[in-house]
Copies of this chain bind each other. A is one copy, B any other.
């Protein structure tokens, strides 16, 4: 289904002519509906209706320098963890009177800064939120604000608290209370800040609590690698808990355990990260870290709005992640 046409759209002047007023009066009508007599208003209304007139936003933006639009930049690919993030950002923008557009920049990361500057100076947007880190010149004359979300790393796996691995410590502490003494961490790809951070907190926490690590398995986010890591555990490794860097890796670990005939959680506890809907129901349901992506999106957009209005950075509105304990974790065996 498509609908188009080739004739020119009506302009404000044509409306004015039809209504028997000046173009400026129509403009006035469009902006704020007052300051004119009732019959005039009515004639304009009728003319607009008859011509099916709708304002040309491009022309308006040119004169105004107000487009009412913000841009969110995503890298190409399905790199963003959640659409909810966009929903949150969009909603927050809408409440502030803006419309958000999502621009996915094409492939090569090389030309990015230039493309972003082009966008910033294009006049199309009043502010730009980049969810991918880029290096920009500090001050540019006349450009619109660009907020680069600092927490988000090169491949968009974490942002701010999303990459906050403090939940990792919480998980380990609880498992330690359950009697677990020896752990394995199945880490994500280290090109992601979040993966590096989770790994670091894992090591630090074990160290702090005097627990043992069998090691860190590098998976590169591949669930098969996670499975293999479990299959490769020596019979006497003593590992009773596996900490996955995300739910997919945890699922791989559970598969590895299953293939070895280990029961989860009776023989082995497994945890993930992301609160994947499927892992919440597939037996055994997975203990994981839930991230409120929508709240996160709102938060990030508020930063942009603050920059736009030259206000100070808004205060954080509390934690955005929490641990959900489910069936995949339990007391250590013996």
**Chain A residues with a Cβ under 8 A of chain B:** 1-10, 52, 54-59, 61-62, 67, 71, 76-78, 80, 82-84, 86-87, 90-91, 94, 99-104, 106, 117-118, 121-124, 136-148, 150, 223-224, 227, 247-248, 251-252, 254-255, 258-259, 276-283, 285, 303, 307
Contact = CB atoms under 8 A, between A and B. Distances in A.
21 contacts: A2-B148, A2-B303, A3-B143, A5-B143, A7-B141, A54-B118, A58-B62, A58-B122, A58-B123, A71-B101, A78-B82, A94-B106, A101-B103, A102-B104, A223-B280, A248-B278, A248-B281, A251-B282, A254-B282, A255-B283, A258-B283
A137 B52 CA distance: 11
Copies of this chain held together in the complex: 2
B281 A282 contact: no
A124 B125 CA distance: 11
Nearest to A8: B142
B281 A279 contact: no
Contact of A2 (B52, B59, B123, B147): B147
Contact of A3 (B59, B91, B136): B136
A122 B87 contact: no
A56 B122 contact: yes
B123 A57 contact: yes
User: What are the 7 closest A-B residue pairs judged by CB atoms, nearest first?
Assistant: A57-B122, A58-B123, A9-B142, A102-B102, A54-B121, A101-B101, A2-B307
A6 B121 CA distance: 12
A3 B90 contact: no
A3 B137 contact: yes
